[in-house]
Structure 1
Amino acid sequence: MTEPPRKRMVRLPTGGSDEGRAKPARLKTAKQRTPSSQAWLERQINDPFAAKARAHGYRSRAAYKLIEIDDKFHFLKPGVRVIDLGVAPGGWTQVAIERGVTHIAAVDLLPVDPMPPAHILQMDFTDPECGPMLIDLLGGPPDLVLSDMAPNTVGHRQTDHLRIVGLIEVATAFAISVLKPGGAFAIKAFQGGEVGDLIQKLRLDFASVKNVKPKASRADSSETYIVATGFKGRRDAPDAGA
């Protein structure tokens, strides 16, 4: 007597979310792409933080870097004034708004879709007119300056390194010149001798300076974040050291 066919005990998967586990995806075609751009695209597709960002409506995976930083330092809250340097595409400002910040001024070289109530400038932050414009849009000095800026690279290691260092120096000088006493500063940096120099410099002006590597920063990246809190006030102010 012939046995009836056995029922399948395990069903094939029928779907899933952007956050579910999946076999690493490969792009079907690499036509007109360089190997480096092909690798970057495949990494984006398979990146769990990029998938979470898509699922949760964040404009970039960088949102999770600021979420982790703020969960530790708690500087995003209703009533504070925030300046976001290098805002594009907007992930950090999204997080600030989500956490109750209503006074935000931001800037980037690239165009950024509106994010009310944030005021967004499209201009070069190193333009001397940019800083005063940000303060004017904010309605006063900030409690927090955020910088996720990175320079446009040219592929020449030494030139690109100098651009990174220069941008960090300009952002740091800006933060120290505009922050309210007690304020905070968080900036993207890259592991190297300059990080140690930056930490030592910031310790002159802030009560606490920490080096933070968020989980959303890729393990193979030299990217890190320096978080300085408890701004002591401008040393050249009339009552400084009084």
Structure 2
Amino acid sequence: MTIPAFGLGTFRLKDDVVIASVKTALKLGYRAVDTAQIYDNEAAVGQAIEESGVSRDELFITTKIWIENLSKDKLIPSLNESLRKLRTDYVDLTLIHWPSPNDAVPVAEFMTALLEAKKEGLTRQIGISNFTINLMQQAIDAVGVENIATNQIELSPYLQNNKVVDWAQEHGIHITSYMTLAYGKALKDEVIAQIAGKHNATPAQVILAWAMKLGYAVIPSSTKRENLESNLQAQDLILDVEDMAAIATLDCSDRLVSPEGLAPDWD
């Protein structure tokens, strides 16, 4: 199974807001939805999916294990609870949301537990999120690279994370980009605006097309139908060599997500 190149993110969306976003997205043709235990919206996402009428086998659902559930005795029970909330017998992808702070739960312990969840059929694929090169190597040592479907990391024109990306791709780990629009900051960039004008596209379409051209999966979120529809069309936008080179110059290591006490030592 491959990971869809384009999906819907649900970070910071809850209750009726996330239900409306997911139902609208599915109506527009989205078929991949990304959630997480800590988002506190799995039940609402599950409700939206059920009410959408879209067949489960057409969907690709991702959730993420929170740090409090990383130990071998908690991981599988917590995933079963996620499945109950999502109203499904399995998810397509389960990620470790963040590595355990201060290595309180060793990588080998939670990756082995996550692989067991896969063997039990609770999740079709497993992966990691916010992992550095060192942590990726530990995950590979624990379960083998063939069992790591993706590393979901912050990536945007302003944080291109080339060192981590290059290492991951060299070792056969796919990349999923989150915060691809840099909280909307990149939408106001002059270089992006020029490329958008050239292609008669929106800045968001340009940024998402840039990430997908580099081989990353993207999971933008929105509460507005017009933005959900417009973002989806990024899949049809083909950027040229000059466009990609121009965006490459925007990298300034501007990391927006680095929670104190949670973030690892970034590469």
* Structure with greater helix percent: 2
Settle same-fold status: TM greater than 0.5.
Answer: no
Q: TM-score, normalised on structure 1?
A: 0.36
Structure whose alpha-carbon radius of gyration is higher: 1
Greater RCO structure (CA 8 Å; 6+ sep): 2
